[in-house]
Amino acid sequence: MGEPPKNAASANRRFDTVLIANRGEIALRIQRACRELGLKAVTICSEADRQAPFGKTADSVLCIGPANAAKSYLNKDAIILAAELTGAGAIHPGYGFLSESAAFSEAVEKAGLVFIGPDASSISTMGDKISAKRAMIAAGVPCVPGPQTALPDEPATVERTAQEIGYPVIIKAAGGGGGRGMRVVSEAGALHEAIALTREEARQAFGSPALYMEKFLQHPRHIEIQVLCDVHGNAIWLGHRDCSMQRRHQKVVEEAPAPGISPDLIGPVGLACVEACRQIGYRGVGTFEFLYEDGEFYFIEMNTRLQVEHPVTEMTSGIDIVHAQINAAQGIPLELRQDDIRCSGHSFECRINAEAPESFLPSAGTITELALPEGPGVRVDTHIHAGYRVSPYYDSLIAKLIVHAPTRAEAMARMREALAGTRVEGISTNLPFLRALFEDEAFARGETDIHYLEKWLKQRRAA
């Protein structure tokens, strides 16, 4: 467990100032980690976020463009210039925006700065679903049945591939993500139309028409494995999460550990993920995402960044993942080894969004009153306050409510109490929806899969 780093120069890249290329709760989260590590934190903002709290709490803030994210939070040149002007030696991309952009990672490093995340090569390998699948198979990570190559244009070859896999199949964009660029095909007659539609969607959304095909699993759960790697060949995994409660492929509630999965079953999968990281020279934090059905794990993708749901793993493992990510970027060797990881208790995270609880349409406006829960085992990651104006320009996530308790049942009870004690006035939020979900008996028993929430919502609307 100690291979030399791919780039020896990356083994000692100390910095004293971090520019945070993001906004909202994650900007505040990274600021806190920087202060605890004795680092200065500077941040950028758009014109729409000039009065946002994440700018006021940073050591300095620089407005880099208008509200339009393409001209501010996605403007690579402006962000790198902001780092140079503020004296930052590193850039932390948070999640979303440029966090999984190989081009941005490369541009940051070429500018003589440190990208707090994996290098461009790792992002490229794992960002393309086809190359990622090849890398995982080579490392012994179990994958969804299907070829390791992009779908060809020849109709006969495509039809033969689908028959070999067995219907239903799912067509996916090779460069896709976020629930976009995918279609399920249940029978041969619908295959070519689905491919044509998905190919055009992939071209427009991701800049590449490349597609691939896999077996569509009927009732899987979404299981994640969190990894942490340094540049010295050391890598560990920090337990697992269940993120099956999804609406339109977007996660709503996450928990750790995944209920009902024994350590003996998931242990070899976690070690295979660690070995995959070593083989591709991965650095920093990352998440392997799997579908789990009938006692089998199937790799679907890797997120080469900090996850929105990282707090549930922090609560159960006791490890500050953002600290570890920043340390890895500086070339500091991991002090922990796999035998040191002892996850305990159970944790839930609810994503509180500024949206109507029934239609889920975004709800911008000013928060007039705010009450957030406190107490043992309760954590709130947020950037909002009474008087804060929720912008219509960005993601609707306004807070993450996290709880931890000795058992899953106790954690559910704690979350019910925490949700009851949360009040956001002046805008619509999904709090009523979350409160109802935590009263659901099947969810309480852990008897759900990735399709459960959509069915649950449909039944509620029909009632």
Residue 90's beta-bridge partner residues? 18, 114
Burial class (CB in 10 A: 0-12, 13-18, 19+), 27: buried
Is 346 within 8 Å of 406 (Cβ atoms)?
yes
Rounded Cα–Cα distance for residues 169 and 160 (Å): 12
Return d(Cα 44, Cα 67) in angstroms, integer: 12
For residue 197, the tally of other CB atoms under 10 A from its CB is: 12
Tokens 């709800």 found at: 363
Place of tokens 């490369």: 106
Instruction: Please pick, among 305, 351, 379, 414, the residue that the annotation labels catalytic.
Output: 305
Which residues have C-beta within 8 Å of that of residue 125, sequence separation ≥ 6? 131, 132, 135, 280
Helices (H) and strands (E) in the chain, counts: 15, 20
How far, CA to CA in Å, does 102 sit from each of 28, 105, 115, 329? Answer: 24, 5, 10, 16
Q: Distance between CA atoms of 380 and 421, rounded to whole angstroms? A: 12
The answer to whether residue 461 is catalytic is no
Task: Count Cβ atoms within 10 A of the Cβ of residue 248 and give its class: 0-12 exposed, 13-18 middle, 19 or more buried.
Answer: exposed
- State how far the Cα of 88 lies from the Cα of 42, in Å rounded to an integer: 8
- Give dist(CA 216, CA 213) in Å, integer: 9
State the pairing for strand pair 296-303/346-353: unpaired
List, by residue number, the catalytic residues: 305
